[in-house]
Structure 1
Amino acid sequence: MSRTAQRRTARLHLGLTGWVLTLFSLYICARTWPIQTVGIATALTLAGIITVRRSSRARRVRGRGRFPTALPARLVRWIPRPRRGRPAHLDDYLALNPTGFEHAIAQLARRDPAVHRAVRQGGANDRAADVLLRLRNGRRILIQCKRYRPGNNVSSEHIQMVNGTYRDIHRCDLAVIVTTSSYTRDAIRTNTMLARPLLLVDGPALTAWTAGGPPPWAGLAA
């Protein structure tokens, strides 16, 4: 038998002996002083209950401390948080994979009190809808997410694809493209030709939004 097991066995025997002696003493006292014995037994019972509750509460507190610190980090990693008033760096977004970036944008959209629901769609056949959100006023917005490295700009083809699906297929009132890079000149020119231009969020605009700025649809939410 190991030393640890021996110590546990010794403590168990000691505890049982103490309880036997306590019960025997109460039995003797009860035959001699019944009223006083009831009071003592009540006090011991209350003290035992208080001790057990405090011990259980202490174990719960200690147990919380045993959870790995990586767990809350994983829960909040989707959105880079500003540090001491400074905006989050785009590298925080670029460190995510495309799916993680879509989740990050959906969570960022949920910060807006005007947003009732924001759901990440994504997938091979998403038809340009990475995130779909509904405002509290009933309007629907489609967001396409492009986690691109600087220099790999969003092209005019993406503008045309989103414009061709967000109303007729997804029944949305507005479309937004969010990228960590920027847009080509042709993409910006194409967007200005649309009857209802898309909202184009580039890297600096995304950084400002993450740091607490208004969402791209701020005017539509009124």
Structure 2
Amino acid sequence: MTIPVRRPRSADRAVFSMRQTFLWFALTGAVLCGCGLMLKSLVKAAGVGGALGGVALICTALGLLGLRGAGSGRRAVPRPESVPDERWETGPVTGADRAAAAAARAESGQDFAAMDAEAFELAIAGLCERDGCTDVEVVGGSGDLGADVLAVAPDGRRVVIQCKRYGPVNKVGSQDMQRFGGTCFAVHEADVAAVVTTGGFTGPAADYAEQCGIRCLDQTALTAWADGTSPAPWHGGNP
């Protein structure tokens, strides 16, 4: 079994440019030529003493230029800091809270099991938008490489979700999970990867997901997320 490895993203990436390197060497050459001509003129005009002062000035200028060139090769790439969600720090959810949320969901007609695949993906995208995600996009279909919903979490992390609208008997299997695991991090560069289903997960699929850091939401966890009685997938591990 192949387990995908999430590639760490460096907070300070080196940016290499052939054009920038060429300009640096051209500028250095021009400065050296200018310094040589200046030194020659100083020797003729002021003798050896004036020439030594000129050499000191030239060395200082070259040193400053070298420091500037060394610092221009790296550019800090800012990463958003994690923003805590205070909604899940207010206390435990009571039975009355769950009942009220379930009643509200029933009134809205949000029955995930009754939806077709496209409607289910749109519903998951709607939950992402409701909970503060931006740049939410539904990309499900042929050629999606396992990603049905893409989004950016409130704290700036990239969220990749695969939606599996299965019946109560069908479960997401190990092969489904391995296919998603092979693309969610390496291809889609997910910071948070999740599989959401109206059914459940087999034991091997759940084990694989845990090893890879993929978050699994079955029918119960999905209902709790929709009701607002459980946090979104980007707020923690598997329910």
TM-score of the pair, normalised by structure 2? 0.53
**Root-mean-square deviation over aligned CA pairs:** 2.3
Distance 1:193 1:219 in 2: 15
Partner of 2:196: 178
Distance 2:110 2:235 in 1: 26
Q: Is 1:199 aligned with 2:218? A: no
Q: CA deviation at 1:118?
A: 1.4
Q: Is 1:116 aligned with 2:134? A: yes
Of 162-171 and 100-109, more deviation after overlay is shown by: 162-171
Q: Is 1:145 aligned with 2:163? A: yes
Distance 1:91 1:155 in 2: 26
Percent of residue pairs identical: 38
Quick one: which amino acid aligns to residue 205 of structure 1? A
Which runs of 5 or more structure 1 residues have no equivalent in the other structure? 1-81
Deviation digits for residues 67-112 of structure 1 (CA, Å, limit 9, x no counterpart):
xxxxxxxxxxxxxxx9843264698112111001000000011111
Q: Give the number of the structure whose alpha-carbon radius of gyration is greater.
A: 1
TM-score of the pair, normalised by structure 1? 0.56
Distance 2:180 2:110 in 1: 26
Q: Give the number of equivalent residue pairs.
A: 136
Q: Is 1:217 aligned with 2:234? A: yes
2:151 to 110, 113, 133: 133
Of structures 1 and 2, the one with the larger relative CO (CA 8 A, separation 6+) is 2
2:177 to 159, 169, 185: 159
Q: CA deviation at 1:145?
A: 0.2
Partner of 2:187: 169
Distance 1:106 1:160 in 2: 23
Partner of 1:93: 112
Q: CA deviation at 1:167?
A: 1.6
